[in-house]
Copies of this chain bind each other. A is one copy, B any other.
């Protein structure tokens, strides 16, 4: 493992690019406005909604926002920007949380939300092709009558392009995988403005380098994703949601380990700790026992769901679980999951006036209880409260630090705690980010996690594919 001083590295790596000079920018904007008319906006209000996601990272507005309507238009925009050496930052729905949208060197935000056509659904092949601005809820509404669905659910109604760019996942990943497993092919515009097609509609291929996976998770730093080919899944015949409480995080996690080992194909397994349950009860008017709790979902045929539930309950009871509340009909299930999805808002409501900072480490599941318990001890001393939400089937969990806005002391303490957590996760064989991405927020952990040789390799790729460092510069691998 490398001995690099991460702070130094971060400064060094993100300072490589210069913000464009005013006259260069003005010439580029003249061309962009000639291309797009009013769809190239310089308005302050538009720019400031495009320079920030949903997190504590401060706004850094782009110089202009271009609303693209086709891949060809994105290519034309990038070509102009490349000629003037103006940075380009893709924008979907603005729900990212690691500073992926901040225009650290100025430049143009390309808003893809108007590219929201569902281009094809191939039912027999269980795949589809969508433009980058399609949101996951829009896609699932469209699919409702096909017997198919798109399972990745990061909570927010993010765009598919944004989800591909950040390698998003969420509550369903334990069964259906993340964007890594569900993106079959891509169209993207590279740093020169060329349109690149990756992958095919074949389910598997050994033909050349896997550019699809290279682009998934690249956060706009290698190109602007404009179309995505997705794997779809059959809507399960039966769905059963449930809530089970446990005497401890260890007992809950042990149950999950045994469940997964027995090959029970759980669709969702979410951990909500006892203090978060209290917040949920207050916010969602529920009455769950204030114990460490698993929210669960089982998919399958009627018979297999019954069998899954029965096996799960046996394992849970052996670990001291008492209550098992189940919801079979869609309305009940929605209510149950709404409570889980609202957990973040519930936590914030329980701490009025505070701002949330979410951690995102992911560890091998055998280490999950270890790291959660360790962290709970560490944070006893912290100047703010914090709660735990976890995608426990994957070993991914979020601690929500409830900090006072504007308090530099608390922000510093939160960053320091997050750093301790990340270091511990990496020691345990895990990653600093299970699903939120690197953006700006986790840049300083990249070398510790991957080592110098791997990060140098990533940077070589970035330099080869974006020699002028124009694609979302300063993020992800920060050359």
Contact = CB atoms under 8 A, between A and B. Distances in A.
Interface of A: 122-127, 147, 166-169, 173, 177-178, 180-181, 190, 194-198, 200-211, 213-214, 216-218, 222, 233-234, 236-237, 257, 260-263, 265, 300-301, 303-304, 307, 360, 362-366, 394-396, 425-426, 429-438, 442, 445-446, 449-451, 453-455, 457-458, 460-465, 476-477
A460 B453 contact: no
Contact of A433 (B207, B237, B263): B207
A127 B364 contact: yes
Taken together, the copies of this chain in the complex come to 2
A208 B479 CA distance: 12
Contact of A125 (B236, B364, B435, B445): B364
A93 B102 CA distance: 49
A260 B126 contact: yes
B210 A217 contact: yes
B431 A207 contact: yes
B126 A261 contact: yes
A362 B430 contact: no
A204 B434 contact: yes
B476 A208 contact: yes
| Residue with the highest number of chain B CB atoms closer than 10 Å, among A181, A218, A233, A464 | A464
A453 B194 contact: yes
Contacts of A196: 451, 453-454, 457
Given A127-B364, A206-B435, A265-B265, 7 more contacts: A124-B364, A126-B260, A208-B438, A208-B458, A209-B214, A210-B217, A457-B465
B363 A173 contact: no
A226 to B, nearest CB: 13
A169 B190 CA distance: 31
Nearest to A186: B454
A43 to B, nearest CB: 32
A263 B197 CA distance: 30
A205 B433 contact: yes
Contacts of A462: 209
Given A261-B126, A364-B201, A454-B198, A206 B166 contact: yes
B173 A204 contact: yes
Contacts of A394: 202-204
Given A236-B263, A465-B457, A432 B207 contact: yes
Contacts of A216: 210
| Residue with the highest number of chain B CB atoms closer than 10 Å, among A204, A237, A260 | A204
Nearest to A223: B457
A396 B426 CA distance: 39
A309 to B, nearest CB: 13
21 contacts: A122-B364, A126-B260, A147-B261, A167-B205, A180-B210, A200-B429, A200-B431, A201-B430, A202-B363, A202-B425, A205-B431, A205-B434, A207-B432, A208-B438, A208-B446, A208-B477, A210-B217, A237-B263, A303-B304, A304-B307, A463-B464
Contacts of A233: 263
B449 A203 contact: no
A110 to B, nearest CB: 19
Contacts of A432: 207
A211 B126 contact: no
Nearest to A219: B206
A442 to B, nearest CB: 7
B124 A365 contact: yes
Contacts of A362: 202-205
Nearest to A189: B453
B124 A437 contact: no
B437 A206 contact: yes
A234 B209 contact: no
Contacts of A125: 364-366, 395
Contacts of A213: 180, 210, 213-214
Contacts of A126: 260-261
Nearest to A391: B204
| Residue with the highest number of chain B CB atoms closer than 10 Å, among A177, A210, A300 | A210
A261 B124 contact: yes
A217 B122 CA distance: 27
Nearest to A447: B208
A217 to B, nearest CB: 6
Contacts of A265: 265
Contacts of A365: 124-125, 203
A201 B209 CA distance: 23
A445 B207 CA distance: 9
